[in-house]
Amino acid sequence: MSPMTIPTAALAGIPAGLQAQGVWAGRRQIFVRFAAEGETATMYTADALASEIRRGTSRSAFHSISISGRDPLSNVDYICAAFDKLTTMIPVMLDCDGQRPAEIEQLKRFVTLTQVTLDGPTLEAQSDRAFESLRVAADTGMQHALVLMVDERTTDANVLRAVERAHATSEATVIVIHPGLATPVDRDRRWMTLFERAAALHGDIRLALRLPPPTGMR
């Protein structure tokens, strides 16, 4: 990036809301959401993003800041430029799919928690880079978590393999398993059996429901 370049990125807003999933589910956050294709986006410079976060945190109380949306780590230089301009005691969470492990170390100055989220059909397809992302986060001293979004396409074997690999990567990994929003967890003993088997493989594992939109955000 040349000295004259002003870093910018397309964001789907900088809303305030409740985290829908993972370790900090239910916490009030400011969301830095990178826009996906088809989403309404606004171009923000790094200075503008820093100013918006500074303004928001001065007006209201937040537990943390969430960096999320579509492929946030493809904008790692932009994120660094924005957060280098901030002085805040509020923790910062990176919520990503784990497909860019090499970029995570660049965020160690200000990211408290790296949360790698895998959806049901991608537990196997994306797993190698996802676990490398957990390893990088652990090696840099960040808190690190694996969130497994389980649906009817996800087998118990898929989930247990992911738990085993996370444990082998770092015993400090927090693992959160989220059943699908429409899953009848109150009438299906699958979840008690699955949780019992998973808990035998790893020390810090949690089964929790997600907050549905619009209450829950990501």
Question: What local confidence, expressed as pLDDT, does residue 4 receive?
Answer: 55
Q: What is the pLDDT of residue 125?
A: 59
Amino acid at the residue 218 = R
Q: What is the pLDDT of residue 40?
A: 87
Structure tokens at 38: 């088809």
- pTM exceeding 0.85: yes
pLDDT of the residue at 126: 63
Q: What are 142's two structure tokens?
A: 């960040």
Q: Distances in Å between the alpha carbon of 110 and those of 18, 34, 71, 74, 101?
A: 21, 18, 18, 17, 17
Q: What gap in Å lies between CA 18 and CA 211, rounded to an integer? A: 8
Lookup: tokens for 83:
């957060």
Domains of the chain as residue ranges with CATH:
8-217 (3.20.20.70)
Q: What is the pLDDT of residue 122?
A: 63
pLDDT along the chain (218 residues), means of 10: 72 95 97 89 95 93 95 95 90 95 96 93 75 97 96 88 95 95 78 94 95 91
Element (H, E) at 16: strand 16-19
Identify whether the C-beta of residue 41 lies closer than 8 Å to the C-beta of residue 35.
yes
pLDDT at residue 16 in the model: 95
pLDDT at 2: 47
Q: With contact defined as beta carbons under 8 Å apart, do 63 and 27 qualify? A: yes
